[in-house]
Amino acid sequence: MEPTRRPEDEAQLNKTPAEQEEPEYSLEEIMNEFGGWTKREEPQETAPGETVRLAAPAAGSPGGQEPSEEEPADTIRFSPVHEKDEPEPERPAVWTYQGEPDPESAPADPKEARARARAERREKRQAEKRRRQLERFQKKEARKKRAAEQPEHTFASLEAAYQFYSAASGIRLRLLLSALACLASILLLVLSTSAIVGDFSGYSQVFSAIMLGLLLAQALLSYDICLSGVMQALRLRFDQTSMLFAALCAVIVDAFFAVAQGRTPFCTVASLLLLLALWGRSLLYEARRRSLRAAGNMEEPVAAVREEKAWHGYDCIFRAPGDAAQFAVQLEMPDAGSRIMRVYAPVMTAVTLVLSILTAMRGGRSFLWSWTAMLLAGFPAGVLIAYAKPFSTFAKKLYRVGAAVAGWQGARILSGEAGLIIEDADLFPPQNVTQGGMKLYGSRPAPMVIGYANAVVQTAGSGLAPLFEQMMHDQNGRRYSVDSFRRYESGGLGATIRGDIVLMGSIAFMKLMRVRVPEGTRLKQAVYLSVNGELAAVFALNYAPAESVRAGLAAVLRAGALVPVLATRDFMITPQFLKQRYKIPPERIEFPIVEERAALSAPEAVRDGKQGALMARSSFASFSGSVVAARGLRGTAILSICVAIAGSVLGVGLMFVLTFLGASLSASCWNLFLYTALWLLPGLLAGLLAGRA
């Protein structure tokens, strides 16, 4: 069978040899045709309308397909015609600060380089110095914050604090039993002293054993004192109770040896110290209970507050609304004696311990005996009642007038150099200012004149406002409003009412304002009123001094650095006028200018000072009494503390000499008891006499 020829083969055979010659292919074209070339052709951009010939993918290649019968292997495809995209407009660049270029370095100059180096070193030293100062300041503030005094007790409210101190009444019974035990110990000490009652040496061991038993019983009665001493020592706040507990332990241990040796122990001195500690706590609890009760009975308490630099750089004491909750917290703050003993007690305990070791090493004496003697001599017994006794006295005194001092913190706030702000009603209460008569001048009716006078004094906030308000009621006065108001330094007031110019003041003020005053109406205690330059009325007044105010002013003047500052709005009240009424030297009183007096006595002023006392009433007697009592409390306590510390330091030195020399008869319990009682006497008298002035 003959093979069938295709039309394409017949056409090829009909060609000439030259026409039958196939074109030559390059290696690259051959490899592209069979898919063996791995070189990727760079894409070429095509112009619009240009055709592109694409090579058909090889059969069996990834993505390749077998060419169909309808489509030849080599196909010319036309790419879509795209218009050339227009370039996007350029976005405005954002300017960014890149910093100033570094200045070009100056030519190297050895002198300038050295000066620049010295300046840099100086700046570094100053920066380091400032850093160290800042660190020291921060550490100091941190120490202050850590050392800030915290209240001894924390209560939820004032009522809770009052209930606590009311429930602590059982301390009185323990105090009575402790006093009896102390008296018995003193009696046994007297019997043991042969120089007083004779020779009872045969009973010395019995007396010593009884004294030791009484001391142990008294320690049980004062369990709260001993427990407080242990707790304070564990908290690393070694105070007077801790030192007392250490002395008590030393006395008890030494007493066992004394009983065996036939020597009189130091039990009586320790018994006296325990009695004083329990008495001081009882007085302190009683004073706080009274103060809390007084504060709790106040519906709207008024506080005596101290504001720093209130007038010409001086601190002033004002009256402001009180805070009973803050008062309860202030009442629990520790006093100066407790704060001082936190330093004195550990130091003196360590000093006596070292001195006792020296005595035992050099003198051959008993270490426990010498340390017990020096520890008792170095304990300031007066500190135990230095604050509690005067506080109890002043709290009882102020309770009668409905006032209370906020403990030691309140006394410290109200003490020192300060001015006491005094207003019109403090010097002359409304009931002490009365009308002596009225005389009208001119043709204006009485209701208009009285209405003008009342409008002026009401706007001024004068102490005469209640009096003129009563006159308005009695004389059917008219009500007017003040259009403009002015105060005059020369002792008068000015106002504009319904177009009328009204002046009101003393006779000296009227003369100064050139208002004609008839000869027969020149009264010293009178208020003059003029309208449009003509005298309209004269109001005769009577200022009656009050005995309570007189006593309060006398107490304020005796307080030393407490200066009365007149913040009066009544133009009649001047230092010369007070000299006539209350016999007060004018040079002892500060009298600010009229604008300052109005600012100091402004009722709407907000006082941001610290409160030192609370009062049920804002009367001058309560105000001055609270401030004077607070200052007296602080002064008495500081005096007693100083006397007690001085006596204890001197006692340690004296007892060291006696124990070092082995003078056991001089360093006896009787002599040490007398020494403690004598140095206790000044502080005790100061506490008893506190508040008697």
Would the pLDDT of 40 be above 70?
no
Write down the pLDDT at residue 63.
43
CB 594 within 8 A of CB 488: yes
Would the pLDDT of 409 be above 90?
yes
Domains and CATH numbers, the chain: 158-411+621-689 (no CATH), 424-600 (3.40.1110.10)
Query: Sheet holding 534-543: strands in order across?
Result: 433-440, 534-543, 526-531, 500-505, 492-497, 484-488
Would the pLDDT of 305 be above 90?
yes
Mean predicted confidence (pLDDT) in 109-113: 76
Mean predicted confidence (pLDDT) in 78-101: 50
Mean predicted confidence (pLDDT) in 201-222: 88
Write down the pLDDT at residue 47.
44
- What stretch of H or E contains 231? helix 223-234
In 3-state terms, what secondary structure has residue 422? Answer: strand
CA 435 vs CA 27, 322, 438, 505: distances in Å: 137, 35, 8, 16
Q: Which of 404, 416, 435, 462 is nearest to 617 (CA)?
A: 404
Look at strands 418-422 and 314-321 and give their pairing. Answer: parallel
Question: How much of the chain, in percent, has pLDDT values that exceed 90?
Answer: 46
> 431-481, pLDDT tens digit by residue?
999 988 888 888 889 999 999 999 999 999 888 999 999 999 888 889 999
Q: What are phi and psi of 617, to 5 degrees?
A: -130, 155
DSSP state string for 18-73: TTTPPPP--HHHHHHHHT---PPPPP----TT--EEEPPPPTTSTT--PPPSSS-S
Structure tokens given for 552: 């309060």
pLDDT bin (cut points 50, 70, 90) of residue 26 is low
> 521-531, pLDDT tens digit by residue?
777 788 999 99
Look at strands 610-615 and 433-440 and give their pairing. Answer: unpaired
Question: How many other C-beta atoms can be found within 10 angstroms of the C-beta atom of residue 472?
Answer: 19
In 3-state terms, what secondary structure has residue 378? Answer: coil
> 232-248, pLDDT tens digit by residue?
999 888 999 999 999 99
Would the pLDDT of 24 be above 70?
no
CA 645 vs CA 101, 619, 640, 680: distances in Å: 71, 39, 9, 11
pLDDT bin (cut points 50, 70, 90) of residue 131 is confident
Write down the pLDDT at residue 270.
95
Q: What are phi and psi of 614, to 5 degrees?
A: -120, 145
> 346-363, pLDDT tens digit by residue?
999 999 999 999 988 876
Write down the pLDDT at residue 111.
76
**Hey, what amino acid is at 252?**
I
Mean predicted confidence (pLDDT) in 100-116: 64
Would the pLDDT of 54 be above 50?
no
Say which residue, 691 or 679, is predicted with more confidence.
Answer: 679
Mean predicted confidence (pLDDT) in 599-620: 86
Mean predicted confidence (pLDDT) in 628-648: 94
> 531-575, pLDDT tens digit by residue?
998 999 999 999 999 998 999 999 999 888 899 999 999 888 989
Would the pLDDT of 70 be above 50?
no
Q: What is the DSSP letter of 107?
A: P
Task: Name the residue with tokens 């564990």.
Answer: 234
Mean predicted confidence (pLDDT) in 70-79: 47
pLDDT bin (cut points 50, 70, 90) of residue 117 is confident
Q: Taking the model in full, what pTM does it have?
A: 0.75
Highest mean pLDDT among 55-59, 137-141, 195-199, 439-443: 439-443
- What stretch of H or E contains 492? strand 492-497
Highest mean pLDDT among 135-144, 466-475, 488-497, 640-649: 640-649
Question: How many other C-beta atoms can be found within 10 angstroms of the C-beta atom of residue 272?
Answer: 20
Write down the pLDDT at residue 33.
53
Write down the pLDDT at residue 48.
44
pLDDT bin (cut points 50, 70, 90) of residue 178 is very high
Q: Which of 672, 616, 635 is nearest to 299 (CA)?
A: 616
**Hey, what amino acid is at 36?**
G
Say which residue, 651 or 89, is predicted with more confidence.
Answer: 651
Average pLDDT over the chain, rounded to whole? 82
- In whole angstroms, give the CA distance from residue 387 to residue 640: 8
Q: Which of 299, 321, 328, 320 is nearest to 402 (CA)?
A: 299
